[in-house]
Amino acid sequence: MKGGHWKTDCSGYDLNGKTLGLIGLGGIGGRVSELAKAFGMKVICWTSNPDPLRAKKFGLEFATLEQVFESSDIVSLHLALTEETRGMINAHILSCLRRGCLLINTARAELIDEEALMLELKSQRIFGAFDVFHEEPLSKNHAMRRLSNVILTPHNGYNTPDANYAICDLATSVVESYYAGELINEVKN
């Protein structure tokens, strides 16, 4: 509407009854699962550490990586980048996605084989939403910028006033714990 157009041919996307596939079930993946359940979604998950208690807590089912990609309407990545996870979303795994599936990556670009991803996106078989890229900042002439089936954000999806305050609070807490000689659980790397 900002351009002066009144387009009524755009349609939304219902989440109720759809299947969300999570790749990773840490703190963020768990929270995304809770939000998806609130919208009436079925949630399936691949994680390197499947725990029946966590499955029950989040009301989800664990599945193989292939099963998650084959069965989901939306797949969202929530993994740390390690030697084991680098490139794990390869051409074979991407080929398992349903036509029309939305692949979301706000974790690390290197989880996905970029060449295989670009082939899938250019075929218009799937949709993508990405906040992380192999090359940052993403060059102005990168092919991904020209695709109509992709939503891009400049690696700042986390950047809200509340999130920034929370980061400052956490940093303060870690420093206070350090000087008090306490165990610091929040530090991961």
- pLDDT reported for residue 184: 80
**Domain boundaries, given as residue ranges, for the chain:** 19-158, 160-189
- pLDDT reported for residue 187: 60
Q: What are phi and psi of 52, to 5 degrees?
A: -55, -35
The residue type of 87 is G
C-alpha 95/C-alpha 77 separation (Å) is 16
pTM given for the model? 0.86
> Which of helix, strand or coil describes residue 89?
strand
- pLDDT reported for residue 156: 83
**CATH for 19-158?**
3.40.50.720
Query: Which of the residues are catalytic?
Result: 108, 136, 155
pLDDT, block means (10 residues), the chain with 189 residues: 74 91 95 97 96 93 98 98 97 98 98 98 97 94 95 85 86 89 71
